[in-house]
Amino acid sequence: MNRSRYWKNRIPFLLTNLICMVALTVFLLVCDISIAAVLLILVVWALVLLAGLFLTYWKRDRQMRQLLDMAGQLSERYLISEVMELPEQAEDQVYYRLLKMAGKSMLEQISEVKRERLEYKEYIEQWIHEIKTPITAMKLLCENHRTDWTKELLLELEKTNRFTEQALYFARSEYTEKDYSVREIALAQIVHQAIADNKYLLLQSGMRLEVEEIQDTVYSDEKWVRFILNQLIANAVKYRAGQPVLRFSTCRQQDQVVLMVEDNGIGISPADLPRIFEKGFTGQNGRIVHQSTGIGLYLCKRLCEKLGIGICANSEGKGTTISLSFHINDFVTRVQG
């Protein structure tokens, strides 16, 4: 509580007491009361007045600090009225009722927004599942009737499928704990599945693949890791340069298995590198490749955080290396050994 403002607010009260003291002094002097007695009365009055004011200030200051500390410990501060005690003073009770009304209104608004978000999320998920059926049907028709134009169509269908997957994972990224299944997976298998998911895109771009022998297994969710690799492959194709090469390799660093996805594309400028995982950030490369949305790497980062996977990027002028770090579960390894 601001001390100077507190005393400034008490100026009318102090002036009233001062006027009363002057009036009482005049009255006592008229009644032939001795000056010593009048001074004694005034001193006692002033001491009692100041003691009362200081005691009130100390009590109010302690109450306000307790409320601020209580609010600071709440994750939803609009619920402060639910945990604070009913004030003793009448004017404070009015503010308490106002806080209650505001908190109730806020809770109603939040419930409404959450309900609308849930309905929208469910609609998006349902729509994506529905649209996957005709996409799969068109891919089968094109694969059964191979011509030059169906090859082009397959490439576009592959892109469409990737964009729908991106939308689905974006809708689910907030609640990944309800949609993942952690188990032992072979990194080599996941890498080859991701390459198969993007085979037409890789063929059309002329991307040369280099996959080192990968024998490591990790504990994670196969579907989510595969989605992350799909995004990294799409980025490598999008920002390719010259004769494009995409390389997959692994190494062990202390208690981690690191999967590295390395390309020889246009790279990332040093100024943009710290921000590439921010939502909607496209940077300098976004002005070169107008298809950039700034969503792919943001989703990768968000999903990695949910799954406990470390992700980092490195680029030195040309080419980019994205590293995925999986923690080794020593307990499970010892049990299986």
Mean of pLDDT over the chain: 83
Between CA 47 and CA 183 the distance in angstroms is 76
Instruction: Give the residue with greater pLDDT, 333 vs 273.
Output: 273
The answer, yes or no, to whether residue 174 has pLDDT greater than 80, is no
* Residues with Cβ within 8 Å of residue 220, at least 6 apart in sequence: 182, 185, 307, 309, 326
> What percentage of the chain has pLDDT greater than the value 70?
92
CA distances, 319 to each of 72, 198, 226, 292, 315 (Å): 46, 20, 22, 17, 6
- Strand-pair category, 208-211 with 245-253: parallel
User: Residue 317 class from Cβ within 10 Å (0-12 exposed, 13-18 middle, 19+ buried)?
Assistant: exposed
Residue 179 phi, psi (nearest 5): -135, 20
pLDDT one-digit tens code per residue, 187-232 = 999 999 999 988 888 888 889 999 998 888 898 888 889 989 999 9
Predicted pLDDT of residue 179: 63
CA atoms within 13 A on the CB side of 274: 1
Domains of the chain with CATH codes: 3-105 (no CATH), 184-336 (3.30.565.10)
3-class SS of residue 245: strand
The answer, yes or no, to whether residue 333 has pLDDT greater than 50, is no
Type of residue found at 194: A
Instruction: Give the residue with greater pLDDT, 77 vs 207.
Output: 207
> What percentage of the chain has pLDDT greater than the value 90?
16
The answer, yes or no, to whether residue 100 has pLDDT greater than 50, is yes
Task: Identify the residue whose tokens are 């400028």.
Answer: 269
CA atoms within 13 A on the CB side of 2: 5
Instruction: Give the residue with greater pLDDT, 245 vs 120.
Output: 245
Q: How confident is the model at residue 337 (pLDDT cuts 50, 70, 90)?
A: very low
Q: Give Cα 285 distance to the centre of its chain.
A: 25
Predicted pLDDT of residue 326: 92
The pTM (predicted TM-score) of the whole model is 0.63
Between CA 224 and CA 89 the distance in angstroms is 57
pLDDT one-digit tens code per residue, 280-292 = 777 777 666 656 7
The answer, yes or no, to whether residue 301 has pLDDT greater than 60, is yes
Predicted pLDDT of residue 4: 81
Predicted pLDDT of residue 129: 77
